[in-house]
Structure 1
Amino acid sequence: MLASFLVILREGFEATLLVAILLAYLAQIGRPKDARAVWYGVGAAAALSVLAGAVLFATASGLGGKAGLVFKGATMWLAVGFLTYMILWMRRQSKTVARDLRRGVDAALERGSLFALASLSFVMVFREGLETALFMFGITQTSTPLAVAAGGALGLAGAIVLGYLVYAGGKRINIGAFFKVTGALLLVVAAGLLAHGVAMFEMAGLFPAILYPLWDLTGVSVLTTESTVGQFLSAFLGWDPKPDLIEFGAWALYVAIVGYLFLRPEGPAPQARAARADG
């Protein structure tokens, strides 16, 4: 439940944040009527995202045996790739994303093209929606559908509230701190999806099980995947009470490498480096 809550909260807030910036800027420059183009793009992106998610789940349910395991493992790894890129990209771009969006709006309005404005919002929201479909598919493989749905509903509600607060007055939310905290938590979720993908490939016979098991805690009922605690740990941390070396190594290596890239101090901005070089 927590994993799906974090994913929907983070992805949903990114989408609502970007839309809120567009709407607020249109109101600021006296073009509130053009907001309908933004909503057209949002609606089309949301519908297409739901369709993409439905196709993904339908494809997975129609596959069995080795093909099904390979498909699930590959989808989990694809979700990890998107999630990693999104977290690191937002870390770099969070300070300039509003300025870049305003430039995009100005360019669209200068051309007198509401279609360009709708396309801008469509691309932003559809990207987040497609990523969300991938993440939710991966999480449903490690948790119960009810828990995933409940966490997703709460995350969506939270994202809408945060987006509205940004639209009403962005100073009410420390956006930088929000992305740092949720980014760090989602890195752990991504590591778990990576490890689960490894387990799927092992069950499909593509990877060997090396040093299996590293430990065996299946005798501790509270830590098995049948228990509530075990399901929570599995969905959020990628917990396996009986892992092998490759599965655990993938988890630990991801946390170490991507965690370092995410937490390392940021260097000076390009403008600052250029000014320093000129001096």
Structure 2
Amino acid sequence: MKLLRYGPPGAERPGMLDGDGALRDLSGLLPEIDGAALSPATLSHLAAIDPASLPLVPGTPRIGAPVARPGKFLCIGLNYADHARETGKEPPTEPVLFSKATSAFSGPDDDVQIPRGSDRTDWEVELGIVIGTRAKYLDKDAALDHVAGYVLINDVSERRFQSERGGQWTKGKSHDTFGPTGPWLVTKDEIADVQNIDLWLEVDGERRQTGNTRTMIFGVAHLVWYVSQFMTLEPGDIIATGTPPGVGLGMTPPTFLRAGQVVTLGATGLGQQRQRMVPA
């Protein structure tokens, strides 16, 4: 299934795509797509519904982030060896874990704000994991049992804030709109091999990133297991799994985003995003 939320910011409604890619309204069956809606029982119930029986949503409404109110927005840094090297760092020996403020969460096609004082706003296309059931101290072979599905994420970053303002990655990752997510939550049954998903990103139509999740240092199952050793993962929590090479920081010379530019990105089976850069 492809689940999504549509409508104005703060007033999104739950929806589902039918087999023809048309948007269907789920609000008669489900109050919201949040952690409570991602249980195996609820997802199984939704999968049994004929989408054609649901009301068709007219027009082209705004698409919001596909999960409401995630409790945690976690990220894995330097999870592709060639990306680590392009930033001047050695590939890590265990996952680099940091947080992104949940207030950075935004829709896939919403404008991205360049923060005041920023001159190094950068892009990062990533696969996101959405947790479906509570996970704590998992066994490695059980990790994927706790995953509801996957999303596309642009882990927008301000590199100066990230690296030169006290060494705190979170402050360079958490500005409002720095977490475009969606357009859909794709349930894990629709992804044949999560370690074989193509990722790409363009700036003003020029390709900047091309990668595949098979080149991750730490795969999806390992990441869910690993994070669960340090904190409880709750339904609706999101883990962004790292970006392939091609970020602005790694270009010669380093190149960063400016107001008016347009970023587009996508991933196999997970849809596409489009954001215009605007001043905060």
The TM-score, its normalising length taken from structure 1, stands at 0.24
**Higher strand fraction: Structure 1 or Structure 2?**
2
**Higher helix fraction: Structure 1 or Structure 2?**
1
* Higher relative contact order structure (alpha carbons within 8 Å, sequence separation ≥ 6): 1
The TM-score, its normalising length taken from structure 2, stands at 0.24
Task: Choose 1 or 2 for highest CA Rg.
Answer: 1
